[in-house]
Amino acid sequence: MASGKLPNEILKKLLTEIPIIKRDDVLIGAKVGVDTAHVLFDKEICVLSTDPVTGATDNAGAIAVTIAINDIATAGAEPVGLLLTILAPDGTTHEEIEAIQRDATETSNALGVQIIGGHTEITTVVNQTVLSVAAIGKLPPEQWMDIKKIQEGDRIAVSKSLGLEGSAILAADREAMLKGVLTPAELDEAKGYISQLSVMKEGRLGALLSVQYMHDITEGGLLGALYETAQAIKKGVCVNEEALPITPTTQKIATAFSIDPLRLISSGSMLLVIPQEKQKEAERLFEEEGIALTFIGEVCKEGVQIVNEKGAVDVPPPEKDMLYTALRRTEPQRLILATDNPDKAVELRHLLDDLPLRVLTKKEAGIRIDVEEDGRNLEENALLKARAVKDQASDAWVIADDTGLFVQALGGEPGIHAARYAGPGCSYEDNCNKMLREMEGQTDRTAYFATCVALLSPDGSAHIFFGQADGQIRQEPKGTRGFGYDALFVPDGYTETFAEMEEAEKNAISHRQKALVKAKQFLARQ
């Protein structure tokens, strides 16, 4: 199935064909087009909702909290508490979790709603962080909405502008692309939409107006919301296309990504069905609050239609939100590093970071394999590692390297076995100590590092690159930078070891960098 919300027809079928028990104290249960469930508790109605965030990376904590509270606002209820679930992939740092939690907490605090519980977990089941928030609110029974009171001719209005959330996410997550489309002021404007995603005020005003239906315009955009509204109120809706409020910046973003802004996730915009006799009062109240309110159509007998200069056009059932389409079309290809060695990963990422690729370690890509490096040379070992990863990531670029240290006095040892010279499970220090013992009394200290980089393209073709650095082995280690044998190796023409050099200086002459630069140059031409 396609990514995004489950199609309404499938959801409706699931809700009707799989029996759900009915309780007298459940006033509103699971329904298509209804944002909240309502349960009668003594003298108050408990209003509940849950929402995930899967399409955003930046500001995810704030977005998750806001859209969950928005659902409570659609019932005209007062939000009280939140349960926040965070499912993060392997490799997520403490700092990243803290940033999400801080973002969510600061947003909920500002809205006067308490985070009262939840769950946080690092799991191999997801490959990017998923947030899910359950929101709880309360509502006096006398303010409970009754969709049966909605009549043909009642007005349909939306607050603020359409596509706010989708525009904000794309401006944050695809900023580099949009810099060539938007002016700096427009880009700042789009990012700033993130501050407009709450509809708590709209919910309060709707309650004052005694509206009988409100709907937060989320996944599926306005067109999805119109269809869901018709399903919920069991009547038709008809809107005027020319009246739909879309900012020029959102329209430019939609054009850049070739997407329909009417199908773009629009948290921050509330759809309200307002009695026709209260239109003037609604305009006054919203103007006093400084919230734009646009009347776009009315309730009709049946159907979901948009009227333009060509006539009336039927609105089909909701399709996949355009946000996912835009993100998928512009998602950088993955480049998977066939290593979990943190030192290598840092070095490789630093070099490759400016390429239009999403650089991941094999662990971050969800690949958990150990490869026996039993090749006869560096190239065979590099290919063994690359192909093992490629078997589980057929659509990605894969890069693997193998490095050896070849010491003249030791007959070329440790050679391709440099990483495990002192035996299984050995440390860098163990390897260096063994080498120094083996070379004790040797006057010929010449050696060279060699690296082979194997790069596999998405079609599986292999590209091989080599790099070499000649030098001498010191009699004792010196320096604290780098890793492996860096503290023992002095490259020709220098007096410092690799471990004493600044990173930039070492990178300019190192064997690994020479091979990787060749691979990077190849990638840049693709």
Q: What is the pLDDT of residue 127?
A: 78
Q: Quick one: average pLDDT of 451-462?
A: 95
Q: What is the pLDDT of residue 483?
A: 84
Q: Worst-scoring range by mean pLDDT, 138-152, 326-340, 498-512?
A: 326-340
> In terms of domains, do 380 and 505 share one?
yes
Q: What is the pLDDT of residue 443?
A: 92
Q: Pick the last residue of a domain from 312, 327, 342.
A: 327
Q: Pick the last residue of a domain from 281, 312, 327.
A: 327
The neighbouring-strand residues paired with 238 are 298, 305
Model confidence band, residue 156 (pLDDT cutoffs 50, 70, 90): very high
CA neighbor of 199 nearest in space, from 80, 101, 68: 68
Rounded Cα distance between 263 and 307, Å, is: 16
Backbone angles phi, psi at 357, to 5 degrees: -135, 150
Q: Quick one: average pLDDT of 64-71?
A: 93
> In terms of domains, do 170 and 268 share one?
yes
Rounded Cα distance between 261 and 243, Å, is: 14
Q: Quick one: average pLDDT of 230-253?
A: 96
pTM summary value: 0.67
Which residues neighbour 465 within 8 Å (Cβ) at sequence distance 6 or greater?
Answer: 452, 453, 455, 515, 516, 518, 519, 522
> In terms of domains, do 321 and 340 share one?
no
For residue 177, is it within any domain? yes
Q: What is the pLDDT of residue 33?
A: 67
Rounded Cα distance between 229 and 496, Å, is: 72
> In terms of domains, do 258 and 349 share one?
no
> Does pLDDT of 333 surpass 70?
yes
Which CATH number does the domain housing residue 492 bear? Answer: 3.90.950.10
Q: What is the pLDDT of residue 2?
A: 65
Mean pLDDT: which of 6-15, 19-28, 284-293 is highest? Answer: 284-293
Report the SS3 class of residue 463: strand
For residue 63, is it within any domain? yes
> Does pLDDT of 365 surpass 70?
yes
Q: What is the pLDDT of residue 307?
A: 92
> In terms of domains, do 59 and 204 share one?
yes
Q: Quick one: average pLDDT of 107-136?
A: 93
Q: For residues 435 and 475, is the Cβ–Cβ distance under 8 A?
A: no
Q: Worst-scoring range by mean pLDDT, 324-333, 424-433, 446-455?
A: 324-333
Rounded Cα distance between 165 and 175, Å, is: 15
> Does pLDDT of 361 surpass 90?
no
> In terms of domains, do 323 and 338 share one?
no
> Does pLDDT of 146 surpass 90?
no
Q: Worst-scoring range by mean pLDDT, 226-230, 239-243, 332-336?
A: 332-336
Model confidence band, residue 56 (pLDDT cutoffs 50, 70, 90): low
> Does pLDDT of 47 surpass 90?
yes
Q: What is the pLDDT of residue 368?
A: 82
For residue 3, is it within any domain? no
> In terms of domains, do 321 and 352 share one?
no
448: left (phi over 0), alpha (psi -120 to 50) or beta: beta
> In terms of domains, do 338 and 306 share one?
no
> In terms of domains, do 312 and 370 share one?
no
Average pLDDT, the chain: 91
> What tokens appear for 225 in the block?
């919301």
Which CATH number does the domain housing residue 60 bear? Answer: 3.30.1330.10
Rounded Cα distance between 90 and 128, Å, is: 9
For residue 1, is it within any domain? no
Q: What is the pLDDT of residue 57?
A: 65
List the catalytic residue out of 402, 470, 486, 492. Answer: 402
Q: Quick one: average pLDDT of 79-101?
A: 92
> Does pLDDT of 7 surpass 80?
no
CA neighbor of 453 nearest in space, from 377, 400, 388: 400
Model confidence band, residue 1 (pLDDT cutoffs 50, 70, 90): low
Annotated active-site residue 492? The verdict is no
For residue 467, is it within any domain? yes
> In terms of domains, do 340 and 315 share one?
no
Provide the H-helix boundaries in 18-163.
60-73, 94-110
Q: What is the pLDDT of residue 487?
A: 94
Mean pLDDT: which of 294-298, 415-419, 435-439, 519-523 is highest? Answer: 294-298
Boundaries of domain holding 318: 8-327
Model confidence band, residue 508 (pLDDT cutoffs 50, 70, 90): confident
For residue 215, is it within any domain? yes
For residue 406, is it within any domain? yes
Domain count for the chain: 2
Rounded Cα distance between 431 and 47, Å, is: 64
For residue 2, is it within any domain? no
> In terms of domains, do 321 and 347 share one?
no
Q: Pick the last residue of a domain from 327, 352, 386.
A: 327
> What tokens appear for 435 in the block?
């080498």
> In terms of domains, do 169 and 37 share one?
yes
Model confidence band, residue 104 (pLDDT cutoffs 50, 70, 90): very high
